[in-house]
Amino acid sequence: MGVNGISCGRAVFRRLGEADMEDVSSLEALCFDTSWSAEQYREACRGGWLIAFGAFAGGELACFVSLSAAGGEAEILNIATRQAWRRRGLAEQLLRFACERIAEEEAAVTVFLDVDETNAPALALYGKTGFSVTGRRVKYYGGIHDAILMSRGLSAAEKQ
Ligand SMILES: CC(C)(COP(=O)(O)OP(=O)(O)OC[C@H]1O[C@@H](n2cnc3c(N)ncnc32)[C@H](O)[C@@H]1OP(=O)(O)O)[C@@H](O)C(=O)NCCC(=O)NCCS
């Protein structure tokens, strides 16, 4: 059992705070072409609108998910797993953990996201965790790839 978190196998899942944002920024920079700086993340935490959860494994932040939540709705901003920890179920477990926590703590009833149509791993992850396709934004990413819009309900009946 981690501090304010739960352990699952070898990983510990917990909500992240300002002190974790250096690690979040570094992991994001490893996984994406563009990333927020640690200070941008800290500022968003201080502003109270950024919510983040992390999975710690092997003594490091192995996976994070960032969200915003307001008025009963939440939006997934980003999710990434360190290369060495991929395909071990971390993103799936962390996403489920985050959805439960934002339903309880932020009274979120629906969570939304958009994902690049070419991102097969992410599309499969979201499909497996109960998200359904609700729409498409044509050429949303870089004027080239479409964004697939997805959502899922967070009520007890809709848990998957
Ligand atoms: C997408 C990502 C977060 C998945 O992380 P992960 O920890 O490896 O995912 P998990 O091990 O929890 O996988 C859960 C499910 O997602 C799907 N999935 C994950 N990686 C996949 C891949 N490479 N190919 C196909 N399906 C994949 C599978 O359905 C998997 O379940 P299974 O292993 O039982 O088949 C990871 O690949 C990543 O960090 N990608 C780069 C960042 C990114 O694109 N983020 C999404 C932004 S929208």
Ligand 1 centroid–CA 122 distance in Å is 5
Instruction: Determine if ligand 1 sits within 6 Å of the CB of residue 9.
Output: no
Atom of ligand 1 nearest to the CA of 87: 11
Structure confidence by residue, pLDDT tens digits, 8-35: 668 999 999 999 999 999 999 999 999 9
Structure confidence by residue, pLDDT tens digits, 82-103: 999 999 999 999 999 999 999 9
Closest listed residue to residue 26, CA positions, set 17, 35, 18 = 35
Closest listed residue to residue 84, CA positions, set 54, 53, 56, 62 = 62
d(CA 6, CA 72): 25
CATH annotation of 6-159: 3.40.630.30
pLDDT at 2 over 50: no
Instruction: Determine if ligand 1 sits within 6 Å of the CB of residue 55.
Output: no
Instruction: Determine if ligand 1 sits within 6 Å of the CB of residue 124.
Output: yes
Q: Averaged over 65-90, what is the pLDDT?
A: 97
Structure confidence by residue, pLDDT tens digits, 35-62: 999 999 999 999 999 999 999 999 999 9
